[in-house]
Every structure is written in C-alpha cells, then in structure tokens.
C-alpha cells in the first residue's frame, strides 16, 4: 500500500511455501492459495496503513504475465473492490512493475527515463530500453530458459529446496568456481541470453559423479561454478546491452536490474563492475523488492494513474503479455 507520493505505507508478501514439496509452483495450489489468503492479507495491510477503502485513489493488481489462476483471483478481487468503492482499477503488467520499481521515490534511486533494464526472473530474462511508462524497446532476451529457471533447475539437481535461487546462492558462497562450465552466447553480438546448455552441462557433470556421493563441499563447488558462469554471461550480455542502449539513447547512463534473480548479490557485483567499466550508474532495488511483491505493482499503478491510464473492468488477465504490447499512444 503506497501513498500517492509513493511512500510505502504498509506491505506484506505471502510466500507459497506449500509448493516446496513438489519442487515448483503447482498452478492449482497457487490459485486456491490466492483465494484463501488474499482477502485477509488485504485487510491486514490496510489496517497496518490505517487506511480504509474510502481513502483509496485507485486499486492496482497484477493482470499478467503469469499463472492464470492467481491472476484471475487477484484482478477479480481488485476489480470488485474498485467497482464497489467507485475508484479506478489499474491492470498492471507484472514485468512493467519490475521495470518501474527503481523509480519508486522511497528508494532514492532516481531512475529517470530512458534507462537500460536487465529483467531477470523465474519466467523472463531480457534486456529492455525503458523509455517511459508503457514504452519499452526489447534489446534482447533468452532464446531458451530464463535465468531464474536455470537457478531453480540446478538447485533441484543439487537437492536444494524451492525456490532454488536463494538456496543456490547461499551454497555457492561456500564453494570454489573450479568447474569450467560453458558461458552460452558470451562474446556474440547482440544481447540475447541462453541458459539451457549451461544447465545441461551441470546436469551431465553431476551424472558423472557416483550416485548419492555428492558431499556438501562438492555441491558447493558446483553451485559456485554455475553461478560464476551465469555471472560471466550476464556481465558480457549487459556490456553489449549498454552499447546498444547508447546507440539508441546517447545520453543514457543508467543500468537497472530487476526481477527475482537480481536479488543475487554475486550477480549484482559483476553487473555493477560491468556498468562502471562503461561509465554507467548501476541501480538495484532492495532484495525484497526484486522478487515479486505488491509494492512494485502499486507503484506501477501510481505511475499509470498519474498519466490517466486507467483500465476497463472488462480487461482480462493475460498469462502471456509481452512488454512491447503495452505501448501507450
Ligand atoms: O521475479 P520473481 O520473484 O518471480 C517471477 O516473476 O518469476 O523471480 C523468481 C525467480 C526464481 O527463479 C528464484 O529462484 C529467483 O528468482 N531468485 C534468485 C534469487 N532470489 C530469487 N536467483 C538467484 N539468486 C537469488 N538470490
Ligand atoms: Zn516477477
């Protein structure tokens, strides 16, 4: 819950730990969990903020891209509340919410358009020129897996819990990057990404080890080597992306990271170094605002509302919703 000036009045994240036993998100469980918990969570946050429905200037909800069950519950709830209380409803593309988080005044990052965005989440991995609200130029993206997907899959191979990214980062801190895993697409022109070959290389390496004989130290070395490969690839792709954004916007000097994988401190460090080498400022939201959260959705709602961009009540949630389709006239 945000004030109209972007101040964070209250926030809460309900993680769906129920999925851990299945090694990933189970769509039906996710949808039902939204249904079971959303009303209570909304009341709790409003109470914490000391705000009633009559005080609201608008209600924003994520309407895609993502698993349709949770999107239907969330956007349906938001539409119902907006309709009942006579306030605007704003359907938010959750990628746009990640993209605009660095502009949240409370963070003091002062991200002014245009800037380069590296969006790295469980479902997406792309380099984007952020030119304004609703104005995005895709510079490159993954040709197979998303970065977070690769973290999750390698974490699973190492027997870590779900979601795998944070657990893998922790384990990697104990290890040494001694395995020369591939750096897919490094050095290639453009700034596309590829992670499936890297994941396969890790999987093949693990298959050569005696079954059940991977010690924690061995697993830590594998985790560190994987994370090192992802870091090298990211730094290389980011450096190409910075050159590309400069060709489009010669004055652009800002690189922003967003999405769950941007919570990885090792990655942040190499990206910060890459930015410095090209005279770019590096900006990253705090860890809790990198992974999916409602603060970023509310902020995107404020950005849209301030431009008069409200949504119709018949706007349907969209499981697939590329940033490029958000174009504001
Ligand atoms: O943005 P997000 O919360 O949800 C999606 O939109 O997908 O991103 C979730 C992804 C998961 O794949 C998770 O493993 C990864 O972000 N992740 C991390 C870290 N924290 C979350 N990956 C690497 N290191 C982390 N510290
Ligand atoms: Zn996300």
pLDDT value of residue 288: 96
Q: Which two tokens stand for residue 271?
A: 């990206």
The minimum-distance atom of ligand 1 relative to the CA of 164 is 14
Q: Spell out which residues line ligand 1, taking CB within 6 angstroms.
A: 121-123, 148, 151-152, 163-166, 169, 259-261, 263-264, 291-292
Instruction: Please give the Cα distance from 11 to 104 (Å, whole number).
Output: 14
By C-alpha distance, which of 225, 174, 168, 237 is closest to 198? Answer: 225
The minimum-distance atom of ligand 1 relative to the CA of 290 is 1
pLDDT value of residue 213: 82
Identify the segments of the chain with pLDDT beneath 50.
none
What residue's CA is closest to ligand 1, atom 8? 260
pLDDT value of residue 17: 67
List all residues 6 or more positions away from 113 whose beta carbon is below 8 Å from its beta carbon.
130, 131, 132, 135
Q: Do 212 and 165 contact (CB within 8 A), yes or no?
A: no
The minimum-distance atom of ligand 1 relative to the CA of 265 is 26
Q: Which of 258, 285, 291, 300 to mutate to test the pocket of ligand 1 (most atoms within 8 A of CB)?
A: 291
pLDDT value of residue 210: 87
What residue's CA is closest to ligand 1, atom 23? 165
> What is the domain partition of the chain in residue ranges?
17-99+290-328, 112-284
Q: In this structure, which topology does domain 17-99+290-328 adopt according to CATH?
A: Nucleotidyltransferase; domain 5 (3.30.420)
17-99+290-328 matches 112-284 in fold = yes
Beta bridge pairs of residue 286: none
Question: Is the N-terminal amide bond of 114 cis, ω within 30° of 0?
Answer: yes
List all residues 6 or more positions away from 93 whose beta carbon is below 8 Å from its beta carbon.
62, 63, 64, 65, 300, 321, 323, 326
CB burial class (10 A; 0-12, 13-18, 19+) of residue 32?
A: middle
Q: Which two tokens stand for residue 133?
A: 């609200």
3-state secondary structure of 126: strand
Give residue 291 CA to ligand 1 midpoint distance, Å: 6
By C-alpha distance, which of 229, 222, 97 is closest to 172? Answer: 222
Give residue 152 CA to ligand 1 midpoint distance, Å: 8
Give residue 67 CA to ligand 2 midpoint distance, Å: 11
Q: Which two tokens stand for residue 73?
A: 């519950």
User: Could you tell me where the beta strands, DSSP code E, fall in 214-295?
Assistant: 254-258, 281-283
Give residue 90 CA to ligand 2 midpoint distance, Å: 18
Q: Which listed CATH number (3.20.20.150, 3.30.420.40, 3.40.50.2300, 3.30.70.360) goes with 112-284?
A: 3.30.420.40
Question: Tell me: the pLDDT tens digits for 242-296?
Answer: 999 999 999 999 999 999 999 999 999 999 999 999 999 999 999 999 999 999 9
pLDDT value of residue 328: 66
pLDDT value of residue 270: 98
pLDDT value of residue 212: 76
Ligand that comes closest to the CA of residue 150: 1
Which residues have a beta carbon within 5 Å of ligand 2, which is an ion?
A: 121, 292
């Amino acid at each position: 819950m945000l004030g109209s000036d972007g101040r964070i009045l209250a926030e809460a994240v309900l993680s769906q730990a129920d999925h851990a036993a299945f090694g990933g998100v189970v769509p039906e469980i996710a949808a039902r969990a939204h249904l079971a918990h959303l009303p209570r969570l909304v009341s709790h946050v409003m109470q914490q903020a000391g705000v009633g429905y009559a005080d609201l200037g608008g209600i924003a909800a994520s309407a895609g891209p993502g698993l349709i069950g949770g999107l239907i519950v969330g956007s349906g709830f938001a539409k119902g509340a907006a309709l009942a209380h006579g306030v605007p409803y704003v359907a938010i593309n959750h990628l746009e919410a990640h993209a605009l988080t660095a502009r949240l005044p409370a963070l003091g990052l002062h991200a002014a358009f245009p800037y380069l965005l590296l969006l790295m989440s469980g479902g997406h991995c792309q380099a984007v020129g952020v030119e304004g609200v609703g104005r995005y130029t895709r510079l490159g993206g993954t040709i197979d897996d998303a970065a977070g997907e690769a973290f999750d899959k390698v974490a699973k191979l190492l027997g870590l819990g779900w979601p795998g990214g944070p657990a893998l980062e922790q384990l990697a801190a104990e290890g040494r990057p001694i395995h020369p895993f591939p750096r897919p697409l490094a050095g290639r022109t453009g700034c596309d990404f590829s992670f499936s070959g890297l994941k396969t290389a890790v999987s093949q390496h693990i298959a050569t080890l005696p079954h059940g004989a991977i010690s924690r130290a061995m697993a830590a070395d594998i985790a560190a080597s994987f994370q090192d490969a992802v870091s090298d690839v990211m730094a290389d792709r980011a450096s190409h992306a910075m050159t590309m954004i400069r060709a489009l916007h010669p004055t652009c000097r800002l690189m922003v990271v967003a999405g769950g994988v941007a919570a990885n401190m090792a990655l942040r460090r190499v990206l910060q170094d890459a930015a410095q080498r090209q005279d770019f400022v590096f900006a990253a939201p705090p860890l809790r605002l990198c992974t999916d959260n409602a603060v970023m959705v509310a902020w995107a709602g404020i950005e849209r509302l301030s431009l008069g961009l409200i949504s119709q009540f018949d706007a349907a949630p969209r499981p697939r919703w590329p940033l490029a389709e958000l174009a504001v006239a």
